[in-house]
């Protein structure tokens, strides 16, 4: 047994107004735990970008946040279309977002670069037609 | 710059967060795409946006931004205002365009901040 806390959320893919609820809930929990404000802000930005991606690109998914004594680890797992070219997806400004997603305020192609910028480590495990798992770690 | 003064300059309506009128912000950031705000904004910033859906409020919340102005006459609905109140966010609405709202505030001394990275 270690003293990690695990938070799990289902992120629905069909209700855009609810996108971000998992990130908000995570933020509230980290505040309650008394983590430093700059850490909470970084976790919030990374998780929110990842959560929105699951909603607009992959029809939802699962978010798991593990808070251990030395890090906050976010795993964002979906069974969506996958990312054919991860290098391209990581470029700032590169986006396949639909006009509809843009009308909703997303599709700048900044989300993944942003997640990488604010996390200490990030990996993308993806296969076309199978899904995408983004793992982002912020050290404490 | 004080929120009270921002409200005056933009002839804006205060939709929630009356108790926050005396707050001060150092920077302004205008965006309709939320990831741009998520990439480049400090917490001590006024967010101006024409994006009128709950994600504008959520984005502010994630960034620890406490003051949001909706431009171009956009009116957040009750659900958005509830979310704002829960998150401790002060919401203003102005009929100014994005360009005019930003211009008025910049001209009155609100700084633009720097891009991050
Ligand atoms: N979970 C995912 N499933 C499938 N494709 C994805 C996923 N996340 C990202 N992508 C792909 O990678 C591209 C870049 O993602 P990124 O988050 O950087 O930008 P965006 O979501 O298009 O716009 P923004 O994040 O600025 O709103 C997306 O346009 C999409 O093609
Ligand atoms: Mg994105």
Q: Give DSSP secondary structure letters for B9-55.
A: HTTPEEEE-GGGTT-B-SEEEE-SSHHHHHHH--SSEEEEE---SHH
List phi, psi (to 5°) of A107. 110, 25
Mutate to test the interface with A, among B62, B63, B98, B117 (most CBs of A within 10 A): B62
Largest CA distance in chain B: 36
DSSP A123: E
Which chain B residues contact residue A17 at CB under 8 A? 53-54, 79
Give me the percent of chain B exceeding a pLDDT of 70: 99
Q: CB A37 to CB B64 under 8 A?
A: yes
Q: Where are the domains of chain B?
A: 3-107
The beta-carbon neighbor of B36 closest among A37, A45, A108 is: A108
Tens of pLDDT, residues B24-55 = 999 999 999 998 899 888 889 999 999 999 99
Classify burial at B22, counting beta carbons within 10 Å of its beta carbon; exposed 0-12, middle 13-18, buried 19 or more: exposed
CATH code (residue A115): 3.30.565.10
Average pLDDT over residues B62-82: 97
Which chain A residues contact residue B33 at CB under 8 A? 102, 105-108, 110
| Tokens at A31, concatenated | 């505040």
Question: So what's the pLDDT on residue B114?
Answer: 79
Report angle CA A9, B84, B5 to the nearest 5 degrees. 150
For residue A96, the Cα-to-chain-centroid distance in whole angstroms is: 17
* Structural domain harbouring A129: 5-139
Tens of pLDDT, residues B16-28 = 999 999 999 999 9
* Number of folded domains that form chain A: 1
Chain B nearest-CA distance from A129, in A, is 26
Q: Which of A23-32, B68-77, B108-117 has the lowest mean pLDDT?
A: B108-117
CA of A93 to the centre of ligand 2 (A): 10
| Tokens at A54, concatenated | 């699951």
Find out whether A111 and A99 touch, Cβ atoms under 8 Å: no
Contacts of the segment A60-63: beta carbons below 8 A, 24+ positions apart: A60/A10, A60/A11, A60/A12, A60/A13, A60/A14, A61/A11, A61/A13, A61/A131, A62/A8, A62/A9, A62/A10, A62/A11, A63/A8, A63/A9, A63/A11, A63/A22, A63/A26
Find out whether A122 and A60 touch, Cβ atoms under 8 Å: no
Average pLDDT over residues B87-114: 96
Q: CB A45 to CB B36 under 8 A?
A: no
Q: For the sheet containing B13-16, what is the strand order?
A: B13-16, B90-93, B67-70, B45-49, B27-30
Closest ligand 1 atom, residue A80 Cα: 3
Question: So what's the pLDDT on residue B117?
Answer: 63
Name the β-bridge partners of A131. A127
Pick the CATH number of B3-107 from 1.10.1040.10, 3.40.1390.20, 3.30.70.100, 3.30.365.10: 3.40.1390.20
CB pairs under 8 A between A and B: 77
Question: So what's the pLDDT on residue A102?
Answer: 87
Residues lower than pLDDT 50 in chain A: none
């Amino acid at each position: 047994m270690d003293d990690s806390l695990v938070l799990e959320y289902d992120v629905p893919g069909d209700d855009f107004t609810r996108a971000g609820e998992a990130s908000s809930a995570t933020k509230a929990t980290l505040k309650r735990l008394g983590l430093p404000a700059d850490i909470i802000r970084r976790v919030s930005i990374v998780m929110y970008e990842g959560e929105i991606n699951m909603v607009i690109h992959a029809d939802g998914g699962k978010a798991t946040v593990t808070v251990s004594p030395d890090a906050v680890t976010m795993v964002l797992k979906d069974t969506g279309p996958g990312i054919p070219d991860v290098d391209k997806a990581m470029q700032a400004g590169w986006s396949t977002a639909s006009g509809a997603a843009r009308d909703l305020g997303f599709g700048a192609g900044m989300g993944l670069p942003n997640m990488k910028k604010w996390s200490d480590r990030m990996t993308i495990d993806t296969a076309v037609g199978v899904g995408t798992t983004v793992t982002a770690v912020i050290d404490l | 710059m004080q929120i009270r003064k921002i409200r005056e300059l933009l002839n804006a309506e205060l939709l929630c967060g009356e108790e926050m009128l005396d707050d001060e912000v150092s920077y302004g950031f205008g965006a309709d795409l939320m990831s741009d705000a998520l990439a480049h904004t400090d917490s001590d910033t006024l967010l101006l946006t024409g994006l009128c859906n709950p994600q504008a409020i959520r984005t502010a919340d994630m960034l620890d931004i406490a003051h949001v102005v909706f431009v171009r006459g956009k009116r957040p609905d009750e659900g958005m205002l509830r979310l704002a109140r829960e998150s401790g966010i002060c919401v203003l609405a102005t009929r100014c365009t994005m360009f005019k709202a930003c211009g008025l505030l910049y001209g009155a001394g609100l700084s633009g901040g720097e891009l991050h990275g």
